Amino acid sequence: MMEFLDANYQALLFILIGIVGLAYGLLKKRQKEYLLKNGIKTIGIVADHELGRMYGSISKTIYYPIIEFEDNEGKLRRLKSDFGYNFKVFEQNEQVEIYYDTIDFRKFIINHNNTKLFDYFPFIAGVLFFLAGIYSIII
C-alpha cells in the first residue's frame, strides 16, 4: 500500500484537489440557486473595486467588486463580493442585479451576464484536476 502511495502521491493530490474543487463548485451553485429562489432581489451599484493579490507561480491582481444597495429596511449597505476576478468585470457606478439573504444581508450574489461563466469555473477546474489525477494513475 505504501509503495502505491509513494509512486502516486502527485496523482492522488490532483484527485483530492479535484474533489475539493467539485465540492466547492457544487456548494456555490446551491447557494446561488437558494438566493435566486429565496433571496431579496434589488439593484445595486458597483461603488468601487478592492484589490487583492493571488500568489503562486505568477502573482496576479484580483478585483473584488464593492456593491452598494439599499436593503428592504431602507438601510444603505456597502459590501465586498467574496468572489474576485482577474480584471474589472464591472465598471464603476454600473447598476447590477443582486440577491441577498433575508436573514444575513452579507450573503449576496451578483446576477449578471458578465459573471455567469465564472460560476462554473470551480466545478470545471475540479473535474479537470480529478481527471488528470485518474489519468496519471492509469498511465
Residues 93 and 74: their CA atoms lie apart, in Å, by 20
pLDDT at 43: 96
Confidence of residue 6 (pLDDT cuts 50, 70, 90): low
Q: How far apart are the two ends of the chain, measured CA to CA in Å?
A: 18
Domains of the chain: 38-112 (2.40.50)
pLDDT at 132: 92
Confidence of residue 7 (pLDDT cuts 50, 70, 90): low
CB-based contact 78:68 (threshold 8 Å): yes
CA trace torsion 24, 26, 29, 34 (10° rounding): -100
- Nearest C-alpha neighbor of 110 from the set 35, 48, 26, 16: 35
Classified as helix, coil or strand, 66 is: strand
